[in-house]
Structure 1
Amino acid sequence: MENYTYTALDRFIRYVGIDTQSDPQSTTNPSTEKQKDLSRVLVQELLDMGIADAEMDEWGYVYATIPANTDKASVPVICFCSHVDTSPDVTGAGVKPIIHLKYDGKDIVLPDDNAQIIRVTDHPDLQNQVGNDIVTASGTTLLGADNKAGLAEIMDAANYLITHPDVKHGTIRLLFTPDEEVGRGTEKVDIQKLGADYGYTIDGESLGTLEDETFSADAVKISIKGVSTHPGFAKGKLENAIKIAADVLASLPKDTLSPETTEAKEGFVHPTRLEGNQDQAVLEFIIRDFTESGLHDKEAYLQDQLNTVLARYPGSTAEFVVKEQYRNMKEMLDQHPAVVDNALEAIGRAGLSARQRSIRGGTDGSRLSFMGLPCPNIFAGEHAFHSRQEWVSVQDMQAAVDVIVQVAQVWEERA
């Protein structure tokens, strides 16, 4: 993309200034209305580019079309997707992005909290960034690169395609979703309206990576009903729901089966929420594994631990509810090899070394793949997600823009 002035950085700086944190406890769609603030900005920017059908629906989803400019009638419709929300784990309000020009290879101390140090030993990808420009937050918030880097990259690629009609491509659909971080990013997607054959989320980490395998994921909610009575007259009667919940947590292994003790293809049982009183308590977990059988084994294990604990509290009961979240996209992608092959070709054409890998997490693409839109995940350059040490490289963002453009070209050429 010679002689092109990239817009990804400027867009990214604008986007991270808008607080779009989602809320897992909310029952509305989207979970927070403020996510729509960014969706409206995206729609207006798309309209300003000349993309006439850009719109936001009532749920906060943005749809837009870059019309085909090829004479070929058989080019599949491709969708590029990113999400507008940021993680509930760390505040996204008042983000102050800092651009560290020509990174020198040293640890980065964030100015608003000197205890927040982005250490090279903790972030080995920084070793590949010497001389590049690194964007961080100031130390008191996350940055929002997950996934506003992806948004900026898709928007920049759209700008390039609109302003370079000589680059041939089929119809391209853009989809920007809310609530990905709380596992609800595809709940209100209208697949028929989207009208795409294949998709790509732009929500990955390191330069050149393509993620075609994710965890399978469920959520478990345990609702405990204890036996409540006045503590002054409780001997032999009280069965404290908080203590029952604590016993369940204490029964979990300390050296395995948790995020902090697993890696690679190992799954886990991870408590995410505990609240209650002596009468009632609620425990929430996320369960992760790369196979559905492994997922069910972990749920059965947790159920067994609960049953063992409850046996010591004969007057108490508990409800164990499993909710499916998403499944390993590889099951669907293996049925459509072109969607991965074309992305790997595009990464190579952008001058990068393409690397396929599994992700210990999930994306909107996981659920979209099972909704009929095979959808692997292309790198966006995001690092240290969900933390105050989150960072992204400007040059990696620009490389992602190149890859998106190349993906569109590869599909047109191979049609």
Structure 2
Amino acid sequence: MTSDTYDLPLGEGTVTASLSGCSVDVAVPPGGDPVDPHSAAAAALDDPHGPPLSAVVDPGDEVCLVVTDVTRATPDEALVGAMLDRLPVGRSAVTIVLGLGLHRPMTDAEIADGLGEYADLAVNHDPDAAVEVGRVDGVPVEVHPAVADADAVLATGMVEPHQYAGFSGGAKTVVVGAGGAPLIRHTHGPELLGQPGTRLGRVEDNPFRSFLDRAGDLAGPDFCVNVTHGPAGILAAAAGAPRAVVRDLADAAREALSVRVDGTYDAVIAGVGAPKDANLYQTSRAATYLALGAHNPVTEGGRIVIPASLPEGAGEGTGERRFRRRLADAASADGLYREMREGYEPGAQRAFVLARVLRDHEVWVTDSEHPDLVDSCLMHAADTVDDAVEPGSRVLVVPDALNTLVV
């Protein structure tokens, strides 16, 4: 088709690309009708997968509730409120752990924004303080002390496409979000990530997801409330046993987020927006989700173009710093990929997966606050989307790349 103008997310706003002289297709998933998160969570709690919350938590129990961090757009305040309304214990018996994994701690303002009236119950996870609760395949499963000491472990979660787990949510909120380095090192290592079943959009026969679920049998959650979302907002909620919750919402997400695309394109423009375009670590997901999904729409040697604000630069957490260092120190994507196949430290896996993509495609990041950073990390910076797309290109625009399954 003849190109016109296209609005793409950038931070909390948008940026416009004209793409003059290009042939442009747009991949927009069917989406669905949004629901009120609190009402949907309440309905899910009243009809859970497995035993109800009242059978999981007893009066007098100490409860630990693990929630997602600022990198996920989970309506945690609504989900926490729906659960606390049904708990047979008071607020003083509840500790909320912020599931950071190896990401940076959340600020007081972010905690207040995410949890509202429940912010005073929250503590940031520190992976260095995690304690072992058992082992899976010889790998230590370590969790935050509040998780280890709790009589009942609950969790929120966002079931959305995930590069390794197929879809996030379920046990992942606890065993990775509130977990320690050994499990993160194993699950995000080259041996597990290199297996063919470890891929975006796949839950069944996915070794990464299977390992998380088995770790969850040791560490929790005993019960979770998760949601999934589409372009219009939160689409559905499910509650109860983690495995069943993930499979239920993954089915809903696939229906809402899948787009069939024929052939390949010279350039694919991937929209990200807040909160994922806060740093380069999270932004790079757009490139790997597209190129390593069920159907790679980028021609060999083609470009993936991502407008991203990057106010945090590469990112401030341990994983983000390791990601940046690996890319910045590398002479080439192929050399980095071959080197990292021999192993790497927890958190650096995003550099490994991105290097896999960069062997075959260029990644351009536009409109950012840190173009020099982008250029130093085996990628290319440009002022605008139009500057990053060669005239006459065949272009696919994916306005919401992290929530679109190209099939």
Q: Structure 1 length normalisation: TM-score? A: 0.25
Q: Which has the larger radius of gyration?
A: 1
The structure richer in helix per residue is 2
